[in-house]
Amino acid sequence: MPATVVNRIASTLGATDHPYMTGAWTPNFEEYDATDLEVTGEIPRDIDGVYIRNTENPVHAPIGLYHPFDGDGMIHAMAFQDGKASYRNRFVRTKGFAAEQAAGEALWAGIAEHPSRSKRPGWGAHGGIKDSSSTDVVVHAGQILSTFYQCGEGYRLDPLTLDDKGTEAWVPAKGVSAHPKVDPATGELLFFNYSKTAPYMHYGVVSADNRLTHYTPIPLPGPRLPHDMAFTRRFSIFADLPLFWDPELLPKGLHAAGFHRDLPSRFAIVPRYGQAEDIRWFEARPCYVLHWMNAYEEGDEVVLDGYFQEDPEPPALEGWPRKLGQMMAYLDEHSMKPRLYRWRFNLKTGAVSEGPLDDRILEFGSFNQQVAGEKGRYLYSTTAKPGWFLFTGLVKHDLETGRSTSLEFGPNRFGSEAPFAPRVGAKAEDDGYLASFVTDLDADLSECLLIDAQDIAAGPVCRIRLPHRISSGTHATWAPREALKPAQAAP
Ligand SMILES: [Fe+2]
């Protein structure tokens, strides 16, 4: 079977010159099933599982200024087995997507507009926007869980067919944020949400067989904008960072984020099944962090890696209308300057030590999930094009030797977050592949790269051409074959 268009979504988008609706961000409206794809090199026989990426695809002409995180979620999946690959892509059938398809127009204004411009009540912490489920994707209990950064529904899809499995029943009324974490050792899903009402944050645990087994407040001093969480074998880690919506403007419906250099960053370390009274709080240098990497316990300390932003409130990019330039600065890593950084929290003394691991501007990283929550040796980060939310290459860090290696995708070629896929029968932490969807603007195509994680500078071991050029997007995940089994009841 060659590539088959299984569905073509009705769009009212029309012509646009918006920088995040054109070029590498040109949205897709066609849904494909494809096998027998053109391969350069050879697909290894020792990779078995699915590479899955979420992307933003605006279907309708926006109400006011479009922000790329408003776009409707679309999942792209490349499944590997026995040296063969097959590709599928599907929109996430969110409630907002269905309502706008029925209406034939956009019903919700986006994050860059006043919520009064939305035609219907919205979702999540913001409350006035559409839950487009376009931010993050994980596989838990044998199914895809697609999530939205402002907290929303948990949408389930079959990881191989991408069939719509509806919304997840355990998601609390305040929703689930992007970046729930799957603990590979237990199969549990750890998640959080945040809101404008006290206690402002909650933390939950869902079992490997998909039952909500824990849900507890993480009380904060006010509404905050956490984006990610981390975990170790015994603890979950949440942050109260001094970047948040101006509380004086919120009653007017204005969601203006400000960074407060006079406030510390606060970290909550809570036992996996702990309650609010079990939280240990630590204070560190003021910062904002979009994404954490791994965390682990070492002696009396909890060690956490992440990307420390030097300038969480950057000036508008020049050369664009002011409001657009401001939005583009918040999408530009070279404006916010995130760097790989490490915090150490001493549970015995309460002491905190912190500092950078690298001076390059890096973000959107990955590591071998088999060492999630434990001390690992290798981290993989992406580099970005200055001025743009586009990934230009990869950097691998060996934390034991301090060495790093890198790979550039090439001119006008932009990749995706590149999760680590362990080789079947792997003998080392970095024995496996990094997978990335790369869009080549000059050749007008997209392809899936597999890169040998032990030698990323050598370039891809194979390139699998997709049946269409796909839009850029946000997060991706790797699900090994054994993670695709349906949820099993606990013994
Ligand atoms: Fe994220």
Cβ atoms of residues 94 and 153 within 8 Å: yes
Cβ atoms of residues 259 and 400 within 8 Å: no
Q: What mean pLDDT do residues 13-19 have?
A: 95
Backbone angles phi, psi at 70, to 5 degrees: -80, -20
- Residue 339 CA, ligand 1 centroid: distance in Å: 15
Share of the chain above pLDDT 70, in %: 99
Q: What is the pLDDT of residue 4?
A: 96
- Residue 282 CA, ligand 1 centroid: distance in Å: 23
- Residue 42 CA, ligand 1 centroid: distance in Å: 32
Q: What is the pLDDT of residue 150?
A: 96
CA distance 216 to 131: 23
The token duo for 340 is: 């790989």
Q: What contacts 252, CB < 8 A, 6 or more positions away? A: none
Q: What is the pLDDT of residue 485?
A: 85
Backbone angles phi, psi at 51, to 5 degrees: -95, 125
H or E segment and range at residue 97? helix 95-103
Q: What contacts 285, CB < 8 A, 6 or more positions away? A: 264, 265, 354
Q: What is the pLDDT of residue 301?
A: 98
* 3-state class (DSSP) for residue 25: helix
- Residue 364 CA, ligand 1 centroid: distance in Å: 8
Share of the chain above pLDDT 90, in %: 95
What percent of the residues of the chain are helix, what percent strand, and what percent coil, each to the nearest 5?
A: 10, 40, 50
Cβ atoms of residues 334 and 317 within 8 Å: no
Q: What is the pLDDT of residue 142?
A: 97
Confidence of residue 490 (pLDDT cuts 50, 70, 90): low
Task: Tell me the pLDDT tens digit for each residue of 79-117.
Answer: 999 999 999 999 999 999 999 999 999 999 999 999 999
Confidence of residue 491 (pLDDT cuts 50, 70, 90): low
Q: What mean pLDDT do residues 263-291 have?
A: 98
Q: DSSP characters for 388-405?
A: SS-EEEEEEEETTT--EE
- Residue 356 CA, ligand 1 centroid: distance in Å: 21
CA distance 238 to 268: 5
Task: Tell me the pLDDT tens digit for each residue of 347-366.
Answer: 999 999 999 999 999 999 99
CA distance 115 to 112: 9
Asked if pLDDT for residue 488 goes beyond 80, the answer is no
Tokens 């895809």, residue located: 144
What are the CA-CA distances from residue 60 to residues 38, 76, 114, 128, 231 (Å)? Answer: 32, 20, 18, 17, 38
Q: Provide the residue count of the chain.
A: 491
The alpha carbon of residue 12 and the mean position of all alpha carbons in its chain are separated, in whole angstroms, by 27
Q: What is the pLDDT of residue 422?
A: 98
DSSP 474: E
- Residue 476 CA, ligand 1 centroid: distance in Å: 10
- Residue 103 CA, ligand 1 centroid: distance in Å: 30
- Residue 47 CA, ligand 1 centroid: distance in Å: 26
- Residue 490 CA, ligand 1 centroid: distance in Å: 31
Distance between the two ends of the chain, CA-based, in angstroms? Answer: 41
Asked if pLDDT for residue 396 goes beyond 60, the answer is yes
- Residue 422 CA, ligand 1 centroid: distance in Å: 23
Asked if pLDDT for residue 178 goes beyond 70, the answer is yes
Q: What contacts 253, CB < 8 A, 6 or more positions away? A: 114, 115, 116, 128
- Residue 232 CA, ligand 1 centroid: distance in Å: 19
Q: What contacts 271, CB < 8 A, 6 or more positions away? A: 234, 235, 236, 278
What are the CA-CA distances from residue 134 to residues 106, 304, 330 (Å)? Answer: 16, 26, 18
- Residue 215 CA, ligand 1 centroid: distance in Å: 22
Task: Tell me the pLDDT tens digit for each residue of 31-73.
Answer: 999 999 999 999 999 999 999 999 999 999 999 999 999 999 9
Amino acid letter at 248?
E
Tokens 């980060």, residue located: 381
- Residue 177 CA, ligand 1 centroid: distance in Å: 10
- Residue 43 CA, ligand 1 centroid: distance in Å: 29
- Residue 421 CA, ligand 1 centroid: distance in Å: 20
Confidence of residue 402 (pLDDT cuts 50, 70, 90): very high
CA distance 96 to 84: 36
pTM: 0.97
- Residue 68 CA, ligand 1 centroid: distance in Å: 13
Task: Tell me the pLDDT tens digit for each residue of 263-275.
Answer: 999 999 999 999 9
Q: With CA atoms as reference, report the closest residue to 182 among 435, 487, 398.
A: 487
CA distance 135 to 105: 22
Report the side by side order of strands in the sheet with 391-398: 363-366, 378-384, 391-398, 404-408
CA distance 415 to 380: 13
